[in-house]
Structures are given as structure tokens and as C-alpha cells.
Structure 1
Amino acid sequence: MDAVNAGKKAAAIRVVDELVKTDQVLGIGSGSTIVFAVEHIAERVKSEGLKLTCVPTSFQARQLILEHGLTLGDLENFPKLDLAIDGADEVDSELNCIKGGGGCLAQEKVVASCAKKFAVIADDRKDSSHLGQNWHKGIPIEVLPFAYVPVMQKIKTTYGGVPALRMAQSKAGPVVTDNGNFLLDWKFDAEKKWDWNLINTELNLIPGVVDTGLFIHMAFKAYFGTSQGSVSTRTPASNGFH
């Protein structure tokens, strides 16, 4: 296992061992880090007989849940979750996150908002003092397909930077989300001090925007794994590691 995956796995195992308990309804995030979390959840279900219901944030998460023999749920039947676990593209000192590099940000945000607790797991490359320090691909923004040009123009005029339509790698044309929408990636000035709570609100008020990849004051704890397999945690109150 390479160093990055070692960090992801260490963080995933720590959060599952620390926070997952029987009779919970869990929100299961998307992305490479979550694969390790689901694997360990399945191991604990088998060895300890845990009774869990898992609500996915994407088609990928749904397939992971089913492949590992876990009980699949949805927000229609379980609108209140005990815990949501997800990765992040970047986490700042206040646990504000950029998410959506994998394109599932809208569903991830809805599921996280339904949980009593939202925990972020990542390798230590994702740990930053401020957003934009280590993540340079911009803030993902899900938009209605017919509105992507005016939304891009509005963002560029209002905030500067470079908003771009995310293009697919293995197919012609743009990336299409599980919701049938397009994704913009807004590369902002990382040297500028931004009020991310305000920016998130303003972006969401632009007609045509479905949601942003800014997860503001949502996480209660972040777990960062290192290549050596150690894990550090941070809460918004501490703004430091323990």
C-alpha cells in the first residue's frame, strides 16, 4: 500500500472504531477514503454483529454498501442519521471543507446535514490552515446544465478568479453528476482572506446553482492519517491536534 492510501486507511479505521456503534443509521460518503471505511465497517458487522443501516451519498457509495453486504437505507425512510462519514479535498483550521472533487457534493451535503454528527476522514495532505493552501483545483459548484454560462459569468464578475466547466476524462463533453447536472470548478485567489460562510451563501443564491462544495461549520471532528499509520484529530473548538 502506498503512503497516501496508508494515511487514508489509518484515518478510516480510527473513525469507524471510535464513532460507529450498533443500532446506528450511518451516512456513507463518496471517494477513495470511504472505501477503507466501508471495508472496516463490514469487518466489524461480521465480527461484532453490529446492526447498522447505511445511507449512501452517491451511486458509488450505494454500490460499496451493497458489495460489502451492508443494509442499504435512504433519506426517505431515514431522514435523521446518527453519523455521517465522508472524505474531503481540503480542510482548514476551523474544519471548513472543500468537497466535490469526485462530483457528489450536493448529495454529500444533504446527507451530512441530516446527521447528528459529521466526521471527516482524510490523509494529511488535505490538512490546511486556510482553504486553497493545498487544494488548487478550485471550489466545485453543481449547476443546472442550461445555466452554466451565466453562472460562470456571475462568479467571475463578482469574485474574480477562473470558473471553468469540468470536462470528463473518458467521454466527450462535460462531467454529469448523479443528479444530471454540470460541475463548475472556481479557482479563486488563495492569497485573499475570504468569508467562506458569506461566499457559500451568496453562491447558493445565484439562480442555477444547485449547491457548492463549501462545507461550512458542518464537521464536528476531522481525522488525518499519515503515511506511517498514525492519526491526528482536530475539532473546531481546539483548532489544534490531539
Structure 2
Amino acid sequence: MADTVEQAKRKAAEQAVKEHFDPEARYVGIGSGTTILYVVDAIKAASTNQNIKFVPTGYQSKQAVLAAGLTPIDFDSLPTNQVLDVAFDGADEVDEDLNCVKGGGACLFQEKLVAERAKKFVCVADYRKDQSRLLTKWPAIPIEVAPLARYTVIAALKALGSSNPVVRDDYMAKAGPIRTEQYFFIIDAPFPTLLTTGDAAKDPNGGDGTDGKWEVGKLSRAIKKITGVLEVGLFCGMDGVEATRAGLTGGQKPVAVYFGLQDGSVKVRTTRKDEAA
């Protein structure tokens, strides 16, 4: 099983890089997680351009970039108004509209910064992450919060309908809660399976939570309004193509998702034909 999953990740990464990585790019975002290690390997094999600067979303991805002999720079070192040519990242779950749950690795704030600074965000994942709706199998929404506000945020999440939001502990219980690179906590908030925009259009309350049903974007905005919340692990709204057309820098949603399958093939999900490459 483990070998099948890893092979699926590698195949998806190789195809995503082949179709979206430009060897003449200037700036490339590199996300977090085990799948991204294969993305870095594929980029290393595809280019010898030492002028490309890579913007990692966390410690792990920075080390992967360095180990590959590539050049990392910090996000806040980007020149003013400089847009990333592309950003590659993984996801914990992806729905049929390409909305994503991210933050299982506790890097969601940096991941969202990088995604929103890119002309296009390309997601790479294995078959387990492919679901028709978010929170089908992934249990909760990761939320990055100020430690001082954790109890306030938990109470507000319960009021929004989360059944049992909890602060994520380190795998060693004696170490206490996990700290992000901003020294914030992660709260994992379970909610019922989320509605897509199409679902919400058919829902009597429009997916506003009053009947316990939330549309992805509406829930993301409601959580973000809670005092003490730095960022929400729902990547939704516009993608980079849509944002560019609207005169904005970038979007949270991927333009394409590459799912490595068990049989060694790759399934590509996009929302428009012009996003395929």
C-alpha cells in the first residue's frame, strides 16, 4: 500500500512539472508535504537554470530545495509586486470544484501566502485526496490561531457548528500543542461535509450554516472573521487565472490538480480547458 501511494505521488509530480514548470521561470513556489519532495526531484531533472529562485512554504520544503542544489529565498524577500510564475503544492483533500483542505502539515499560512502570489497554483496529490466534497474523508479544517485566543476561537467555532474543535498536540504529548513557524497553534475543527457552490445554489439557506450546511467559501470567510484566527485551511474562491483576469495578483484555488492513481496513471482535474497547461 505504501509503495503504491508513493509511486502515485511521484507520477503525479512528474506530470505536473512537465506540464506547468517553465525552465526559464524566474520565481517558483514550493509547498509542503511528502508529495512536494517528488515535485522538487522532477524540477531538478527538468532544469539546470541556476537563476530560478524558489520560494518554500516552510522548513521542510526549504531543506528539499537546498538538497536539490536549487536556490531558496524567503517569501518576504520577493521584490515588490513580483509574482511567482507558478506554485506547486499538495492538499489533504480536493473537491470536484478544486476547493482544497490544506494544513495537515501545519504550514497553511505560508502555503496560502505563496498560492496567492502565484500566476497559477498547481496541486499534486495521490488518489486518496480525490473526493467530490470536502470533509468527506479528511476529518477537520485546520485553522491557525494565536495561542492567547484559542479558547475564544474554539467557542466561536462551536457556534458555527463545529462538533469538537481541538488544539492539535505534538505527536509527543509532553511537548504540548504544535507550534507553527509563526508560533501559533493549529485548531482542527470538524464540520459536516461541505457544499460546493452548485450545492449551495440548491440549498434553501444557500449554504450559510443555518441548517448545519456550509458552502466552502462562506465557511472560510466566517472562520476568518473570528478574532485570533490568522488563517483558515480552506483554499477556495478564485484561482490564479481568474484572479489575473480580475486584475488581482493570484488566487487560493489551484488551476489544475494532478492525482496519481493506483494503476500508475495520472488523473488531471481542471475547471476550464485553458487551465490544462
Q: TM-score, normalised by structure 2?
A: 0.81
Q: TM-score, normalised by structure 1?
A: 0.92
Query: Could you list the per-position Cα deviations for residues 127-171 of structure 1 after superposition, in whole angstroms to 9, with x for gaps in the alignment?
Result: 0000111212x0000000110011001110222321111000035
* Within-5 A mapping of 1:204-219: 204-217=224-237, 218-219=253-254
Contact 1:22 1:51 in 2 (8 A): no
Q: Which structure's residues are more often strand, by fraction? A: 1
Q: How many residues align?
A: 236
1:224 aligns with 2:225: no
In structure 1, runs of 5+ residues without a counterpart are none
State the distance in 2 between where 1:13 and 1:109 align: 23
In structure 2, runs of 5+ residues without a counterpart are 195-211, 238-252
* Within-5 A mapping of 1:53-202: 53-75=53-75, 76-78=77-79, 79-136=82-139, 138-170=140-172, 171-190=174-193, 193-202=213-222
Given the alignment, which residue of 253, 257, 269 partners 1:234?
A: 269
State the distance in 2 between where 1:23 and 1:55 align: 16
Task: Tell me the residue number matched to 1:14.
Answer: 15
State the distance in 1 between where 2:16 and 2:117 align: 19
Contact 2:256 2:268 in 1 (8 A): yes
Cα deviation for residue 190 of structure 1 reads 2.2
State the distance in 2 between where 1:213 and 1:157 align: 18
Q: Relative contact order (alpha carbons < 8 A, sep ≥ 6): 1 or 2 greater?
A: 1
Contact 1:220 1:235 in 2 (8 A): yes
State the distance in 1 between where 2:157 and 2:213 align: 17
1:44 aligns with 2:46: yes
Cα deviation for residue 17 of structure 1 reads 0.9
Q: What is the aligned-residue identity percentage?
A: 41
State the distance in 2 between where 1:190 and 1:202 align: 16
Contact 1:166 1:174 in 2 (8 A): yes
Root-mean-square deviation (Å): 1.7
Task: Tell me the residue number matched to 2:242.
Answer: none
State the distance in 2 between where 1:208 and 1:189 align: 23
Aligned AA for 1:199? L
Task: Tell me the residue number matched to 1:203.
Answer: 223
SS in 2 for 1:162: coil
Aligned AA for 2:106? G
State the distance in 2 between where 1:121 and 1:42 align: 17
